[in-house]
Amino acid sequence: DFSRRTLIKTAALAVPATLAMPWVSARAAAKFTYKYGNNLPLTHPLNVRAAEAADRIRAATNGDLDIRIFPNNQLGGDTDMLNQVRSGAIDFFTPSALVIATLVPSAPINAVGFAFPSYDKVWAAMDGDLGAYVGAEIEKVGLHMMKNVWDNGFRQLTTSAKPVVTPDDLAGIKIRVPVSPLSISLFQSLGAAPTPMQFSEVYTALQTKVIDAQENPLPILQTAKLYEVQKYGMLTNHIWDGFLFIASGKTWSRLPEDVRKIAEGALNESGIKQREDIAKMNSSVKADLESKGMVFNAPDPAPFREVLKAKGFYAQWHEKFGDEAWTRLE
Ligand code: TK8
């Protein structure tokens, strides 16, 4: 019976095809195709783990939510992406609290110089009172922050001309800092000459010697290849920095509640794994950068803190952040 055989054959072909390539039908059926932008290369754990979360979200929502990642400043620098996530032009963005401070001044309380001596204290604060406070402040401007903060790392100073051992060595050094009042104030108080600049411009500015120095965690030095344009690394640990996983309030609220729950759950879970990745890199990256020609030292932080105290840095920022936020640091 010809027609029956054709039917069976067609069915036999069709079934393995969808089994072998489930994402074809899933992608085609996506109800929500959302954009996530950031400023780091695909090799950074931020992107590796976000891609993994996106896969799990796609599977768990039967393809309804398809998060596409635009790494490496493809959608513009941080300032552009911050505007886009506010307007809903992009759906997710992972700024450092330093960067979102232009919009939410109270956000970077974690980034007060030398506030955290260790990761234990960092996660106790960020998974507890401090993180909850920052999340609530961010909701007030129409953005949604996922509960778990991802890890950027402790920021370390790098220079091209000479190493820094004491605060005196910083005098007049042209250092790039994120576009953030707190970073500018910190390095001004230490006697350096900070230039605020988006991360997207840092590599070229160092290469062309427009600036002499910058500061970022070890995993960024490695994945963004800043070791190619910097010689000296100082393990100053002067700021602990995280990525706030932000959704645009406008487009986040358009997702059905069950989809939001799946997405936030997967992102929070991947955030914990991303913290573990960074922890591993914290103990392995220095040796790799040394093999690539960088020279490291570990300055005593005490004299840096003394200068900051003497210059009124802590008093000034305590007043700006206010008691409510400041007590969550202590
Ligand atoms: C956060 C990070 C980066 C940033 C910067 O967006 O501009 O230095 O703090 O460390 O990618």
**Ligand 1 pocket, residues with Cβ under 6 angstroms:** 39-40, 78, 95-96, 98-99, 152, 178, 199, 216, 220, 241
- Report whether pLDDT(133) > 50: yes
Q: Each residue of 271-304: pLDDT tens digit?
A: 999 999 999 999 999 999 999 999 999 999 999 9
14 pLDDT tier (thresholds 50, 70, 90): very low
25 Cα–ligand 1 center, Å = 37
217: CA distance to ligand 1 center in Å? 9
Query: Which residue has the CA at smallest separation from atom 10 of ligand 1?
Result: 216
Q: Please report the pLDDT score of residue 12 as a whole number.
A: 43
pLDDT of residue 224: 98
pLDDT (mean) for 1-12? 45
| Dihedral sign (CA 219, 190, 200, 117) | positive
Mean pLDDT, rounded, for 238-256: 98
Q: Quote the CA–CA distance of 242 and 99 in Å, as a whole number.
A: 11
The yes-or-no verdict on residue 4 having pLDDT over 80 is: no
Mean pLDDT calculated for residue range 14-19: 46
Q: Are 158 and 230 in contact (CB under 8 A)?
A: yes
Given pLDDT bands bounded at 50, 70 and 90, which one contains residue 7?
very low
Listed in order, strand segments (DSSP E) in the chain are 32-37, 65-70, 92-93, 143-145, 150-159, 174-177, 193-196, 213-216, 232-243, 246-248, 295-297
329/205: higher pLDDT: 205
- Classified as helix, coil or strand, 36 is strand
pLDDT (0 to 100) of residue 77: 97
Is the pLDDT confidence value at 261 over 70? yes
Place 22 in a pLDDT band, splitting at 50, 70 and 90.
low
* Average confidence (pLDDT) over 213-225: 98
User: Percent of the chain at pLDDT above 90?
Assistant: 90
pLDDT at 23: 52
Q: State which ligand 1 atom lies nearest to the alpha carbon of 215.
A: 8
Best residue for ligand 1 mutational test, from 92, 99, 201, 206 (most atoms within 8 Å of Cβ): 99
Report the distance separating Cα 314 and Cα 309, nearest Å.
6
- CA distance linking residue 280 with residue 153, whole number of Å: 11
Question: Which ligand 1 atom is at minimum distance from the Cα of 217?
Answer: 10
pLDDT of residue 18: 45
CA separation for the pair 320, 298 (Å, rounded): 31
Please give the pLDDT value at position 68: 98
Least confident stretch, 21-25, 48-52, 216-220, 292-296: 21-25
- Ordered structural domains, the chain, with CATH: 29-326 (3.40.190.170)
Please determine, for residue 2, whether its predicted confidence score (pLDDT) is greater than 80. Answer: no
In the predicted model, what is the mean pLDDT of residues 134-162? Answer: 98
Report the nearest atom of ligand 1 relative to the CA of 39.
Answer: 11
**Mean pLDDT estimate for the chain:** 93
> Quick one: pLDDT at residue 212?
98
327 vs 299: CA distance, rounded Å: 28
Both tokens of residue 152? 């950027």
Query: Model confidence over 60-77: pLDDT tens digits?
Result: 999 999 999 999 999 999
pLDDT tier, 329 (very low <50, low <70, confident <90, very high otherwise): confident
* Amino acid 330: pLDDT: 75
